[in-house]
Amino acid sequence: MASTNDLKNGMVLKLDNDQLWSVVEFQHVKPGKGPAFVRTKLKHVLSGKVVDKTFNAGTKVETANVDKRGMQFSYKDGEQFVFMDTDTYDQVFVDPKVVGSASDYLLEGFEALVAMYEGSPLYIELPASVELVVQHTEPGLQGDRSTGGTKPATLETGAEIGVPLFITTGEKIKVDTRDGSYLGRVNN
């Protein structure tokens, strides 16, 4: 248990029938009249739904002990993604629903944070950007600007993103894992 005065960004709370909510932001408010309160923005850990919730200052809330560990993606076993704890070498099988869109940027050996609660994986956190090789893209034609200067490219993970016309097959590029946008070339 913790008090609403102790809230921090990233803290995970157990509310509404043991559902897990992560604190995205919070603000302590002391109005001129009336008691103080805490205004929060909470994100549902499993669904990603974001809600605003207000608590009276000093109210007790139940916290969930979520363990975030750095793990290495090993391989895909059927539908399951297999991650290895880099400290203990234990393997964790993660459901594709938990991995979600992160699967577009996972290669064997990539590091990720795996959030665990009571022994089961909740979600995967990738670094803000990853470096991937362009597996295939059409050659860009000089003067072809009808698409705003981008063309589709298939990455080595199978994901497809928009890249500038000058990018060629075989080049290594940096990709933003949050929205799948092109960030730049990687110089080898």
Q: Which residue has the tokens 């290669």?
A: 107
For residue 63, with 0-12 CB atoms within 10 Å meaning exposed, 13-18 middle and 19 or more buried, which class applies?
middle
pTM above 0.85, yes or no: no
Give the pLDDT confidence of 60-72 residue by residue, as tens digits.
888 887 778 888 8
Which structure tokens are listed for 102? 């992160």
The dihedral region occupied by 104, where left means phi > 0, alpha psi between -120 and 50, and beta the remainder, is: alpha
Q: What is the DSSP letter of 96?
A: H
Domains in the chain: ranges and CATH: 2-63 (2.30.30.30), 67-125 (2.40.50.140), 129-185 (2.40.50.140)
Q: What are phi and psi of 75, to 5 degrees?
A: -165, 175
Residues of the chain with pLDDT under 70: 140-148, 188
**What is the pLDDT, as a whole number, of residue 34?**
85
pLDDT at site 143: 59
pLDDT at position 67 is 79
